[in-house]
Amino acid sequence: MVIIPSEARVHNPRKGVVHSMSLENSAQAGSATQPQGGGISMPDEIGVLVNFPLESEYVEAIEAVDLRVRVLRVYEPKGEGTAASDEAGDAWRQVTGDELDALLARAQIYFGFRFPVEWLDRSPRLKWAQLSSAGSDHMLRAGLFDKRPDLLLTTASGVHEIPISEHIIAMILHFSRGIDIAVRNQALHRWERYSPREANGASVCMVGYGPIARRAAILCKSLGMTVSAVRASLNEQMPTDGVVERFYPVHDLNSVLAESDYVVIAAPRTPQSEGMIGKEQFAVMKPGAVLINISRGALVDQPTMIEALQQGRLGGAGLDVVEPEPLPEDSPLWDMSHVLITPHVSGSNPNYNKRVTELFTDNLARYLKGEPLKNSVEKERGY
């Protein structure tokens, strides 16, 4: 079962159970103010539009936060016990047309992945969008704040730290232990010994240091790796925090790249970070270094990366993200033996809906009480 925030339990007669909520009473909850800018009265119904397949137990957890909350499903289960992992076409019915318009007209809150910006004109009551993804760059590039500058936008940052940090470690070990060589030889039915390396003693640089990179840094250190990190918020180098040996500002990126055996791209996509790993950066990288990208493909100059791989200057690349997606069938990356491609699945895991619903119900309780929301996107910063 999903864990409902302790500050958000209330008796919900619709479910016949007692859930938790710290609002003193429903009337007081109804006069809660928005966390960023002025008070508004809450309506009798608070419509939450959920735009992804979400199991009924999590829908109930959302509605348990407040008596007025009504979940409006864009994806409706066709039967009892339908799981989000079931094939959408077989197990879930997607609401479209006039039926969708009716839901959009009722929605004050959006909960889902990519919010179609064209829906804004059909969502006059929308006040807040809680994304189920860690990134919001696609929304900002689509002009979300241009069309609705007062809209609150929050992300699911932190929900992905366990699976993606494990994915980073898997990619590091793939190259350090020569798993790429073993897989290639197995396909050829070839028993050929080779000399794996160790992650222990190798250096790794985290480009970006959010929740994902922080957990990955802990795992890397536990393997005996030396960890450094580049942070956009810094103006000068900073010493260790107990895990990272040294923090670098972005203007020192090239110097730390020259010393790193592994480079992990974990920064958010913003206008400033697009193409941040380009010709100059590949030229200064340590010969034989491995690049791992779990952020966005646009942060890396892909043609230059391909050239560095073809020339052997780059020892390997672990790519969960590319530009564009899906990767075209004729891309040379597919046939490179020292490239590992996963189709943007590093954040996928069987606990996703549970974790993202826990985050959302916590934020929903905060929203109703007029408290600051977790993971608010600052439009000036871009994340």
Catalytic residues, which ones? 296, 325, 344
> What count of other Cβ atoms lies within 10 Å of the Cβ of residue 154?
21
* CA-wise closest residue to 362 among 128, 61, 151: 61
Instruction: Yes or no: say if 130 and 113 are a contact pair by the CB < 8 Å rule.
Output: no
Grouping H, G, I as helix, E, B as strand and the rest as coil, residue 292 is strand
Structure tokens that stand for 137 in this block: 């760059």
The residues facing 71 across adjacent strands are 48
Q: Distance between CA atoms of 360 and 111, rounded to whole angstroms?
A: 8
CA distances from 253 to 205, 317, 372 (A): 10, 19, 33
H or E element in which residue 101 lies: helix 97-106
E-only strand ranges, 284-363: 289-293, 314-319, 339-341
Q: Distance between CA atoms of 22 and 7, rounded to whole angstroms?
A: 5
Phi, psi for 314 (deg, rounded to 5): -100, 125
H or E element in which residue 181 lies: helix 179-187
Structure tokens that stand for 9 in this block: 């339990």
- Secondary structure letter of residue 380 according to DSSP: T
The answer to whether the Cα torsion of 114, 117, 122, 125 is positive or negative is positive
